[in-house]
């Protein structure tokens, strides 16, 4: 499956020395949500750098890990969400006549207009400007199928640049081009997204059960049922999921999500009755790529997906992307049927 990825962007400056935000409103919001007892992300009322935030986040998470009864912690919530995604996969696929999984990964450039690193909270605001339209477009694309979906704000590899993974379980055959309107909604409505960095393939990956090797990976799988590799992959991208040693990227992304006021996971109608897994997934030990790896991240992650998900398809059907807006169509509004 070809990636269609452009050359990587190279951001200037030292990313780790960039403050979490330079926006006074976000700084005030951060002050309202932190205090001296919660490892504050402020020094003298100003947001700390990403490097300092990662150190404080790691200290906070180690404290949570030491208190096993602290179920409402960041790690506790992440473990519950991890279990919900895996249980949804176990529940949905066997009850579908023709189950397909769809993974849509939506990103943005982490560089500002001067080519320097954007503060992570400022970047998140720009990245998320498209998300309401994306969700409407996704629901539109799925309207003719029995389906459920979830979304995770990932960032556990490379430069810990946040990006969204949308995972849908669909009953019936679908193709990547069926979700071109979802990609188009993101490109049109997020100021950090661009069309050349979101080719429909591999931005959208579609797999049927026959495309994947779905086998038990642990005792929990043998007891409850095997989980598809796509579902497990998305679940392991949840922030705060690893209770043990974390990679630098996991600490940085976790710190950003600690400071972030919005949701880092949208599980919608997924069952909440699933128990948390007996142990968290193994830490992501992948090393960051060269500077400006936002687009290279697409190529690497999708390449990893093709191998670890054991796709048997060498390519998906090629379809024209009807990306032009119809007359009177608003940004983010899906194209009309047909």
Contact 162, 125 (CB under 8 A): no
pLDDT band at 241 (very low <50, low <70, confident <90, very high): confident
> Could you report the per-residue pLDDT of 311-327, keeping only the tens digit for each?
333 333 333 333 333 32
pLDDT band at 34 (very low <50, low <70, confident <90, very high): low
Looking at residue 190, its pLDDT comes to 98
Looking at residue 250, its pLDDT comes to 92
Which of 64-73, 90-99, 260-269, 320-329 is modeled with the greatest confidence?
Answer: 90-99
d(CA 265, CA 210): 28
Kindly provide the b/e burial profile for residues 288-300, where b requires at least 16 CB atoms within 10 angstroms of the residue's own CB: bbeebbbbbbbbb
Q: Report the chain's mean pLDDT, rounded to a whole number.
A: 78
d(CA 260, CA 132): 18
Mean pLDDT of 69-96: 88
Which residue is it, tokens 């997020």? 190
Is the pLDDT at 125 greater than 60? The verdict is yes
Residues in the chain: 338
What's the token pair of residue 22?
Answer: 């330079």
Which residue is it, tokens 């700084």? 27
The CB density around residue 109, as the number of other CB atoms within 10 Å, is 22
Q: Which of 12-26, 67-81, 271-285 has the lowest mean pLDDT?
A: 271-285
Model confidence, pTM: 0.79
DSSP-derived secondary structure for 28-53: HHHHHH--GGG--SEETTEEPBHHHH
> Could you report the per-residue pLDDT of 108-121, keeping only the tens digit for each?
999 999 999 999 99
Looking at residue 215, its pLDDT comes to 93
d(CA 335, CA 181): 7
What's the token pair of residue 194?
Answer: 């661009």
| CB within 8 Å of 28: residues ≥ 6 apart | none
Q: How far is CA 39 from CA 35, 52, 54, 255, 323, in A?
A: 7, 11, 11, 11, 46
Secondary structure letter of residue 116 according to DSSP:
B
pLDDT band at 271 (very low <50, low <70, confident <90, very high): low
d(CA 263, CA 152): 9
The CB density around residue 186, as the number of other CB atoms within 10 Å, is 27
pLDDT band at 106 (very low <50, low <70, confident <90, very high): very high
Mean pLDDT of 32-58: 79
Looking at residue 262, its pLDDT comes to 86
**Share of residues in the chain with pLDDT > 90 (%):** 56
Looking at residue 189, its pLDDT comes to 98
pLDDT band at 74 (very low <50, low <70, confident <90, very high): confident
Contact 83, 276 (CB under 8 A): yes
Task: List residues bridging with 43 in a β-sheet.
Answer: 46
Per DSSP, the three-state class of 99 is strand
* Cα of 242 vs its chain's centroid, Å: 16
> Could you report the per-residue pLDDT of 212-235, keeping only the tens digit for each?
999 999 999 999 999 999 999 999
> Could you report the per-residue pLDDT of 136-189, keeping only the tens digit for each?
999 999 999 999 999 999 986 778 899 999 999 999 999 999 999 999 999 999
Contact 155, 162 (CB under 8 A): yes
Looking at residue 44, its pLDDT comes to 82
* Cα of 110 vs its chain's centroid, Å: 15
> Could you report the per-residue pLDDT of 194-211, keeping only the tens digit for each?
998 999 999 999 999 999
| CB within 8 Å of 32: residues ≥ 6 apart | none
Contact 148, 169 (CB under 8 A): yes
d(CA 325, CA 238): 34
d(CA 275, CA 192): 37
Looking at residue 42, its pLDDT comes to 86
């Amino acid at each position: 499956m070809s990636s269609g990825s452009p050359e990587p962007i190279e951001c200037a400056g030292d990313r780790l020395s960039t403050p979490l935000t330079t926006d006074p409103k976000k700084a005030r919001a951060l002050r309202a949500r932190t205090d001296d007892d919660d490892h504050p992300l402020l020094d003298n009322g100003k947001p700390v750098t990403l490097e300092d935030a990662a150190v404080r986040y790691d200290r906070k998470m180690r404290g949570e890990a030491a208190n096993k009864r602290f179920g409402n912690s960041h790690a506790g919530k992440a473990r519950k969400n991890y279990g919900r995604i895996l249980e949804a996969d176990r529940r949905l696929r066997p009850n579908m006549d023709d189950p397909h999984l769809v993974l849509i990964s939506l990103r943005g450039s982490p560089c500002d207009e001067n080519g320097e690193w954007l503060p992570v909270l400022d970047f998140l605001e720009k990245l998320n400007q498209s998300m309401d339209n994306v969700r409407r477009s996704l629901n539109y694309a799925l309207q003719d199928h029995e389906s459920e979906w979830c979304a995770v704000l990932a960032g556990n590899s490379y430069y810990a640049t946040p990006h969204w993974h949308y995972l849908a379980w669909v009953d019936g055959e679908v193709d990547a081009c069926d979700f071109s309107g979802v990609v188009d909604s993101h490109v049109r409505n997020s100021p950090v997204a661009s069309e050349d960095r979101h080719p429909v393939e591999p931005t959208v990956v579609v797999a049927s059960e026959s495309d994947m090797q779905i086998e038990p990976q642990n005792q929990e799988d043998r007891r409850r049922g095997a989980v598809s590799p796509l579902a497990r992959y998305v679940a392991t991208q949840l922030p705060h999921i690893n209770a043990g040693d974390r990679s630098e990227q996991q600490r940085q992304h976790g710190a950003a999500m600690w400071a972030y006021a919005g949701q880092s996971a949208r599980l919608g109608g997924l069952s909440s009755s699933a128990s948390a897994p007996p142990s968290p997934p193994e830490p992501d030990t992948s090393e960051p790529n060269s500077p400006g790896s936002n687009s290279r991240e697409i190529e690497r992650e999708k390449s990893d997906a093709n191998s670890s998900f054991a796709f048997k398809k060498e390519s998906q059907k090629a379809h024209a992307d009807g990306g032009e807006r119809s007359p009177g169509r608003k940004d983010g509004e899906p194209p009309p049927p047909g």
